[in-house]
Amino acid sequence: MTETELLLWVRGPALQVATVIFLVGVAVRFIEILMLGRQKDLAEARGSALAGGLRTIVTRSVPDRGTIQRSTFNVVAGYVFHVGFFVVLLFFAPHILLFHEVLGLNWPALPTPVIDATTVVTIIALLAVLVHRVLHPVMRFLSRFQDYLAWLVTILPLVTGYLAFHRVGVAPPPTLIAIHILSVELLMVVFPFTKLMHAVTLFMARYYNGAIAGYKGVKS
């Protein structure tokens, strides 16, 4: 397979398969969660479940002072790589062109130097998270294969994308781009079946907990 054929395959059939697995996998996980259901609350409502759920989505997205003091590194590093990843994904010009091609949506891109710096900072944060996980005795004990797999498929698109854009490495540019796209497709395939799914379900969980508390007239 030539470099051009590889790139065409990666951007064509491989991307289609990864997209189907991603969408079906996410849909199945949603269905599984919704099928769990919940028992009807027979107690008299003392507040609004809707308001409580929406409020909790917002309040749980900002760590409280105690959490920051106890786990400063985890909070800071976590926010840095989460925000950095989504900034690179959503505001890099070539990515926006892809979204426009597929979804018909378009929005302004950030300058390339900003994306470059964000990518480097995000990679450093992810590496720091891995080192912390390995060196911290409790986190190392609690970590399983899936935790390291999730870390790997998250950092690979950032690293391969940076190398491809700057044409770093012995491989020709088309091959570097193909490797980058493959790393993204790997992330898409793994996403629904690992803890990465929390990127979507966390909002459901926060709303659910807040709705229960709101119905009872208490803050979550």
Angle (CA) 68-159-27 rounded to 5° is 70
* pLDDT by 10s per residue, the chain, length 220: 677 788 888 888 999 999 999 999 999 988 888 887 777 776 677 777 777 778 888 887 777 777 778 888 888 898 999 999 999 999 999 999 988 888 888 899 999 999 999 999 999 999 999 999 999 898 899 889 999 999 999 999 999 999 999 888 778 888 999 999 999 999 999 999 999 998 888 888 888 888 887 777 776 6
Confidence (pLDDT) at 11? 87
Question: Residue 143 and residue 132: Cα distance in Å, rounded?
Answer: 12
Question: Residue 126 and residue 130: Cα distance in Å, rounded?
Answer: 6
Question: Residue 132 and residue 40: Cα distance in Å, rounded?
Answer: 43
Q: Where are the domains of the chain?
A: 3-32+48-215
Confidence (pLDDT) at 8? 85
Contact call for residues 208 and 46 (beta carbons, < 8 A): no
- The domain 3-32+48-215: what is its CATH number? 1.20.950.20
Give φ, ψ of 15 to 5 degrees.
-65, -40
